[in-house]
């Protein structure tokens, strides 16, 4: 049945993603809503929650946060947009991925028009997105029922539909961009960057007054106009329509370009924005004398230069932005802490130490830095596994390079990249601190910025270790799962008063709160020791295993 046509075949390829993303993100709603009963157990706690949400309005607009639907909408905020990563990958792969693999040639050799192939694939993507949204909606409804939420099945399903539609928009954007790139990875990377930018642009109007006009440029703004889990707020049909029309236009133009361009060739950009080509005659192509071609280490470093740049930019910008946010809200926060001891306790649990200081709040935000660096490390560990699976190690290992040297050179390049991320983040934070006049302990700031390095290396080493036995998709999935679980333990655990034993399962526990309490030397040594052991086992495994091809 599944191989009857392109639509069913493509839908079959999406089946694991449908279940994985749908159930995974749906179950997160259970975790989020399980906290609501404690948070509104007393009038004082309820008031604290409302005040807290207002202070964190940049995450999401706080509306009726003392109700399950309002709390879930605010708490999930833009984090639910993690689900958009899948349509970005699927959209960039839909046509360009098939062209890269050469399978598009075979597909188009069949008596089926290009338009039909493209539209059937597009229909499969939308079907998958609707199914993901349906699963999220149903699980959200069940999670709501477990806490006697005031939203019904209709609201929950509309919540899922809103996620499907924003996913469809970014999937369509990835499909559109992939018409202009030679590689699906480039298209996915650019679209991922646009997603981050869209989230940032949407945040602006909640942080800076009178900037709503600017935020309207972001698709995420229209996504946030609908809050179906809050019955009194409801769904904005115009916003949904705007997103659907934008998706249709992007997909339509993408398919139109696909019908007119050569298969396997990127659509030329208009002359105004086309980068000038650097012509090279065959006679002058050798010797290249590039530093990046000298060794496995330098080649690896060069290949991760572009993603390292963007991740560095994002992480450093986030850190600097947080400094300004804390400085701007310093006075309000102090008043808040004095009037709401529960809030002080909550911030103190995650931020560490005395919550009446801005350092505690900074510390709370700084826990996001290792999360982001670890996400970067997951992508690079995934590439290590993928390179072997794609046969890219075959010829490298046919040269007289010992396998141990190859794996350590690659890991060394990743180490260099993480050090660059950390050092630039430190520099950006220091500059922002000096510019804003925020009072922070410099030693602790250095410790907080640089101690993210072992965190990134830990998950990378685990990725290298798992890749000794697992295929790339499973390796990446497992690392992502670990990262999400650790994140949940650290950020939801304190609210649920989980035991110290459970909290210790997350590496973020060992990162601690360096901005407040300084470098936890013992904990960092433990993280480094686990990293070294994982890398050592990964190296031994790589030296002894059959190279996949």
Partner 1 sequence: MTTLVETQGLTKRYGSSRGIEDVTFEIDEGEVFGFLGPNGAGKTTTIRTLMGLLRPTAGSAHIGGLDCWEQSTDVKRLVGYLPGELSLDPNLTGGQILEYFGNLRGGVDQSYLKALIERMGLDPSRKFRQYSSGNKRKIGIVQAFMHRPRLLILDEPTNGLDPLNQQEFDRMVREVRDEGRTVFLSSHILGEVEQTCNRVAIIREGQLVRIGEVAALKDIKRHDVTITFAGDAPLEAFKTLPGVDQAEALADGHSLRLAVSGGLDGVIKAAAQHPVVNLTSQEPSLEEVFLRYYEDDGAVAKEASHVVP
Applying CB under 8 A, the residues found at the interface with partner 1 are 100, 182-183, 280-282, 284-290, 293-296, 299, 303, 390-392, 394-402, 544-547, 549
CB-hemisphere CA count at 13 Å for 493? 21
* Residue owning tokens 């590496």: 507
Nearer to partner 1, 275 or 398 (CB): 398
Integer-rounded Cα radius of gyration of the chain: 24
Cα–Cα distance for residue pair 4/22, rounded to 1 Å = 25
Nearer to partner 1, 46 or 403 (CB): 403
Smallest separation (angstroms) from partner 1 to the CB of 237: 45
Q: Which value, to the nearest 10 degrees, does the dihedral of the CA atoms of residues 329, 331, 332, 334 take?
A: 120
Distances (CA, A) of 354 to 289, 293, 499: 56, 51, 21
User: 510: Cβ–Cβ under 8 A, 6 or more apart, which residues?
Assistant: 520, 523, 524, 526, 527
Q: Which two tokens stand for residue 230?
A: 């809050």
Smallest separation (angstroms) from partner 1 to the CB of 25: 33
Give the three-class secondary structure for 234.
strand
Cα–Cα distance for residue pair 46/95, rounded to 1 Å = 50
Nearer to partner 1, 281 or 331 (CB): 281
Q: Which two tokens stand for residue 33?
A: 């809503």
Smallest separation (angstroms) from partner 1 to the CB of 360: 46
Smallest separation (angstroms) from partner 1 to the CB of 3: 23
Smallest separation (angstroms) from partner 1 to the CB of 542: 12
Smallest separation (angstroms) from partner 1 to the CB of 445: 38
Q: Which two tokens stand for residue 193?
A: 């960057």
Angle of helix 184-207 versus helix 153-178 axis, rounded to 10: 130
Nearer to partner 1, 197 or 396 (CB): 396
Give the three-class secondary structure for 548.
coil
Nearer to partner 1, 275 or 285 (CB): 285
Report the Cα 66 to chain-centroid distance in Å. Answer: 28
Nearer to partner 1, 183 or 517 (CB): 183
Smallest separation (angstroms) from partner 1 to the CB of 259: 23
Nearer to partner 1, 251 or 300 (CB): 300
Q: Which two tokens stand for residue 246?
A: 């934008």
- Contact criterion met (CB below 8 Å) for 361 and 513: no
Nearer to partner 1, 148 or 284 (CB): 284
- Contact criterion met (CB below 8 Å) for 425 and 308: no
- Contact criterion met (CB below 8 Å) for 547 and 388: yes
Smallest separation (angstroms) from partner 1 to the CB of 414: 17
Nearer to partner 1, 133 or 189 (CB): 189
Q: Which two tokens stand for residue 115?
A: 């338009």
Smallest separation (angstroms) from partner 1 to the CB of 293: 4
């Amino acid at each position: 049945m599944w191989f009857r046509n392109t639509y069913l075949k493509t839908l079959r390829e999406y089946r694991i993603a449908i279940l994985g993303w749908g159930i995974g993100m749906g179950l997160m709603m259970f975790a989020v809503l399980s906290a609501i009963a404690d948070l509104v157990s007393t009038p004082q706690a309820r008031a604290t929650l409302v005040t807290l949400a207002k202070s964190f309005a940049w995450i999401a607009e706080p509306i009726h946060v003392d109700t399950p639907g309002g709390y879930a909408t605010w708490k999930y905020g833009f984090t639910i947009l993690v689900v958009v990563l899948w349509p970005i990958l699927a959209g960039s792969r839909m046509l360009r991925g098939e062209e890269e693999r050469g399978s598009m040639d075979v597909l188009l050799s069949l008596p089926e028009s290009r338009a039909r192939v493209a539209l059937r694939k597009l229909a499969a993507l939308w079907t998958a997105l609707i199914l993901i949204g349906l699963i999220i909606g149903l699980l959200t409804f069940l999670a709501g029922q477990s806490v006697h939420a005031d939203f019904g099945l209709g609201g929950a399903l509309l919540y899922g539909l809103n996620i499907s539609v924003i996913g469809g928009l970014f999937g369509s954007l990835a499909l559109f961009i992939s018409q202009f790139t030679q590689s699906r990875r480039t298209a996915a990377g650019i679209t991922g960057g646009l997603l981050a930018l869209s989230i940032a642009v949407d945040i602006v109007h909640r942080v800076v007054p009178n900037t709503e006009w600017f935020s309207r440029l972001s698709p995420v703004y229209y996504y946030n106009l609908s809050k179906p889990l809050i019955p009194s707020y409801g769904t904005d049909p115009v916003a949904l329509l705007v997103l659907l029309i934008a998706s249709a236009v992007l997909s339509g133009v993408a398919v139109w370009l696909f019908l007119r361009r050569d298969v396997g060739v990127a659509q030329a950009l208009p002359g105004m924005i086309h980068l000038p080509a650097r012509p090279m005659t065959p006679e002058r192509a050798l010797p290249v004398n590039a530093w990046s071609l000298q060794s496995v280490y330098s080649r690896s470093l060069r290949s991760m230069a572009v993603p390292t740049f963007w991740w560095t930019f994002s992480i450093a910008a986030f850190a600097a932005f947080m400094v300004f946010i804390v400085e701007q809200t310093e006075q309000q926060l102090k008043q808040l802490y004095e009037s709401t001891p529960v809030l002080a306790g909550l911030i103190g649990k995650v931020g560490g130490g005395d919550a009446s200081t801005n350092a505690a709040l900074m510390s709370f935000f700084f826990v996001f830095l290792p999360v982001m660096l670890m996400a970067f490390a997951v992508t690079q560990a995934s590439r290590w596994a993928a390179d072997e699976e794609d046969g890219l190690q075959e010829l490298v290992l046919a040269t007289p390079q010992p396998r141990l040297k190859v794996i350590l050179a690659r890991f060394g390049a990743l180490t260099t990249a993480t050090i660059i991320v950390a050092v630039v983040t430190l520099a950006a934070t220091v500059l922002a601190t000096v510019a804003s006049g925020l009072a922070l302990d410099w030693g602790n700031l250095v410790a907080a910025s640089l101690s993210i390095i072992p965190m990134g290396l830990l998950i990378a080493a685990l990725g290298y270790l798992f890749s000794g036995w697992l295929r790339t998709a499973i390796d990446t999935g497992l690392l992502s799962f670990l990262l999400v679980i650790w994140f949940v333990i650290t950020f939801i655990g304190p609210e649920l008063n989980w035991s110290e034993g459970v909290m210790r399962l997350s590496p973020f526990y060992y990162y601690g709160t360096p901005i407040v309490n300084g470098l936890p030397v013992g904990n960092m040594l433990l993280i480094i020791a686990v990293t070294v052991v994982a890398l050592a086992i990964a190296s031994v495994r790589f030296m002894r295993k059959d190279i996949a091809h």
